[in-house]
Chains A and B, each alone.
Chain A
Amino acid sequence: MRIYQFSEQPYPDAWENPSIRVNLASRAMDPKVMAQNYHDRLDEWLLADELGLDIMINEHHATATCCCPVAAVPLAILARQTKRARLLTLGYPIANRLDPVRVAEEFAMIDVISRGRLEMGLVRGVPYEVPLSVRSAVGQMDRFWEAHDLILKAMTSIDGPFDWQGEHFQYRNVNVWPRVYQQPHPPVWITGRAPQNIREIAERGYVLGTFLSGFQTRQLFDHYRKACADLGRPAPAEDRFSYLGIVAIAQDRKEAMRRAEVMVGYLRSSGRVAEPFGTPPGYFSVGDAMRMIKARGARGTTTRDGKFVDTHHGAIEDLVKAGIMFVGTPDDVYGQLAEFIDNIGGLGHFLMMGHAGHLTHAEAMEQITLVAKEVLPRLNARRPAAKAA
């Protein structure tokens, strides 16, 4: 079991706007404040490395909720400055990128500088990334898989250049230097929610990424397990599964609850986007698009007992019951995580949003320390077989 420290590197001072994605003017940011934010987050990741946690980076564009439009930048810094942590990006929105070979080059360099610690996450990206993309969402998954195929071929071709003449991408003389450190290539992670996507991830044996899906995560993992069974393969190990949840932890339960109230600002604000950008054409199936024209549905999940919880507006208690937030003392968080992991049938990678919103640097540092010292060892002691392979 690995736990990854994650922050979206937000700029929460601008979260009070009606739309904090796509069309929010960057005038709303003070770069001096943001500089400190970046430094604080990097220091938190350095502490995570020191204390035995791993590291997760993501990227979004044109938003105050995640001010990391280029995941390669913090990855590059951390590749040099950390000693042991796995460096996960989850991930690169490769269907929106124009240049998959450049992706392969960035990944290769980070993998070599970190001496083989890159975990290579590829994502389709949320709907509101599409309005920022040169390419529309029509045929996005086709493009995703072609980009994936090209990136992997570019990384694993070590006998000189090849040409790529695909439907979506065309290249001459693809020849990636440096050669990747991890052979034949760094581990691949892909996020998925639709059964067909999960099947495609399972067929390739990749790590399945799931975010904030609560107790519904069990169904998502079951799609993966079933795909393996259908292929006549052994049951997938726990290290094929990852889940992202929010952790608010303190020695004192009241303080943890206060931190949860601060951190939940992420959930409250992250879906705040001007209407036309939330449902880009081609992103959803025609059937789903029809339902969206009629009425917009709330995004949510269910508690273990089947109660619907609105991901963006639910009360903290409900978000804890739903397995989206893990809140309390180290004992509480350990207990909640253990129960959640058992319910979803095992987990190899817990992606911990350990910093969000206006949580201070000092608070984030304390959270990382508590999780590293008082939660992770107990989870691993409880399930010695689940220790990272």
Chain B
Amino acid sequence: MEGASIESVIEKIGGLDIEIVRRGRGRPVLFLHPHIGFWGAGRFVDAMAKHAEVIAPAHPGFGRSALAKGMTTVDDLSYFYLDLLEQLDLRDVVLVGASFGGWLAAAIATKTCERLARLVMLGAVGVKLGARDRTDVVDIFATPRSKWEEVSFHDPAHGRRDYSALPDEELQAMARNREATALFAWNPYMYDPKLFGRLHRIRIPTLFLWGAADRFAPAGYGRGYCAAVRGAVFEEVAGAGHFPHIEQPEAVAARIAEFALGKQLEKQP
């Protein structure tokens, strides 16, 4: 399994030093990484870049991206991304969000779909659907490290790493990702109570792709989430857990290309 090392640069976006991955040419695909950052996303980015221009920033506070004082919510992050869309003058964007990044994608799209053409939610979190006395998705902050891979992957071998051998840059990114996740998703854990009631504002074709073996956010959660977005389609990805873009990068990239790039892009009324 490859490491986190995707070639990235630092760009000034919204007044912040932001780590950003750019690959390929064509229609812009804005990829919003999950709470574990860019780790494991290299093959997916490469596969996607065969079809499109992939733009993948590390969210403020994650990876090597700076965090603005006062940014404490996914809502704050969504406004940062609205600025980014304007600053980079991106149009007809295919917005792809994985897990925590899917929450963020929904927070953006419920504000405005003006610059967006398609939305893809990969094992997305962000809404509360189930009983109030238990969490809908697994609490990573209460999960022993030894169990994390089992919860996250179809094949836990995908996630196993020798932490003691990781280079400092990667450890630093991991530590920052973990801290930023706590900042944005500690409580309410991995959701915004307001988001569900705003999902009707997503007015672009939306595809939910869900790992068939997702033990972190079960498929039932994904189906419930999908049902709240008008016209959205739900599909499972075989051989994948919570991070289909890591376990099935080529298949996921191909499906996104077909869904979002293969046809003429038309906004729904």
Q: Which residues of A contact B (CB under 8 A)?
A: 23, 131, 134-139, 167, 274-277, 280-282, 286, 289-290, 293-295
Contacts and interface: CB of A to CB of B under 8 A. Distances in A.
A280 B145 contact: no
Contact of B142 (A138, A167, A276, A293): A276
A281 B178 contact: yes
B182 A137 contact: yes
Among B171, B174, B175, residue most surrounded by chain A Cβ atoms (within 10 Å): B175
A137 B163 CA distance: 23
A295 B164 CA distance: 7
A23 B139 CA distance: 13
B183 interface: yes
A90 B174 CA distance: 34
Contact of A138 (B70, B143, B179): B179
A144 to B, nearest CB: 16
Nearest to B67: A138
Among A277, A282, A293, residue most surrounded by chain B Cβ atoms (within 10 Å): A293
A319 B141 CA distance: 33
Interface string B178-216: 110111001100000000000000000000000000000
A293 B171 contact: yes
A138 B163 contact: no
Given A290-B168, A293-B175, A294-B164, 9 more contacts: A131-B142, A135-B186, A136-B183, A136-B187, A138-B183, A280-B141, A281-B178, A286-B176, A293-B166
Contacts of B70: 167
Contact of A294 (B171, B176, B179, B186): B171
A293 B141 contact: no
B152 to A, nearest CB: 14
B144 A276 contact: yes
B132 to A, nearest CB: 15
Among B70, B143, B168, B179, residue most surrounded by chain A Cβ atoms (within 10 Å): B179
B172 interface: yes
A286 B175 CA distance: 6
Closest 5 A/B residue pairs (Cβ): A136-B186, A289-B175, A281-B182, A136-B182, A290-B171
Contact of B166 (A138, A274, A277, A294): A294
Interface of B: 70, 141-146, 163-164, 166, 168, 171-172, 174-176, 178-179, 181-183, 186-187
B171 A275 contact: no
B186 A293 contact: no
A289 B186 CA distance: 17
A211 B181 CA distance: 31
A286 B163 CA distance: 15
Contact of B145 (A23, A137, A275, A282): A275
B163 A294 contact: yes
Given A135-B186, A137-B182, A281 B141 contact: yes
Nearest to B185: A136
A277 B171 contact: no
A280 B172 contact: no
Given A276-B143, A290-B172, A294-B171, A134 B179 contact: no
B183 A276 contact: no
Given A276-B143, A281-B141, A138 B182 contact: yes
Among A23, A167, A281, A286, residue most surrounded by chain B Cβ atoms (within 10 Å): A281
A9 to B, nearest CB: 26
A290 B173 CA distance: 9
Nearest to A137: B182
Contacts of A280: 141, 182
A266 B164 CA distance: 31
B179 A281 contact: yes
Contacts of B166: 293-294
A250 B172 CA distance: 51
Contacts of B146: 275
Among B143, B171, B176, B186, residue most surrounded by chain A Cβ atoms (within 10 Å): B186
Contacts of B187: 134-136
B63 to A, nearest CB: 12
21 contacts: A131-B142, A135-B186, A136-B183, A136-B187, A138-B183, A139-B183, A275-B146, A276-B142, A277-B142, A280-B141, A281-B178, A281-B179, A281-B181, A282-B179, A282-B182, A282-B183, A289-B175, A290-B171, A293-B174, A294-B163, A294-B171
